[in-house]
Structure 1
């Protein structure tokens, strides 16, 4: 009986850990995507400003 309960608890903890790790990885990827998007916007803004200053 005790072995069965411990097995069930172990499986529940393993599933919880897997879901937590997947959630952390997805959260990290979203964060990196946001940082990359901001970096692209900064590069575009700097490029536009430098091209406008050359024309004058």
Structure 2
């Protein structure tokens, strides 16, 4: 009986750990995407400013 309960608790903990790890990875990917998007906007702004100042 004790072995069955420990097996069930182990499975529940494994599923909880899996969801926690997947959530952390998704959160990290969203943060990296946001940082990359901001970096692209900065590069575009710097390129636009440098082209405008060069043409005048």
TM-score, L = length of structure 2: 0.99
Rounded to whole Å, the distance in 1 between the matches of 2:15 and 2:55 is 60
Q: Give how far 1:35 is off.
A: 0.1
Which aligned segments of 4 or more residues in structure 1 are displaced greater than 3 angstroms?
none
Question: Any idea what the Cα deviations from partners look like across 1:15-46, whole Å, max 9, x if unmatched?
Answer: 00000000000000000000000000000000
Q: Which residue of 2 aligns with 1:45?
A: 45
Rounded to whole Å, the distance in 2 between the matches of 1:43 and 1:23 is 30
Q: Alignment length, in residue pairs? A: 56
CA RMSD of aligned residues (A): 0.2
Runs (5+) with no aligned partner, structure 2: none
SS at match of 1:42: helix
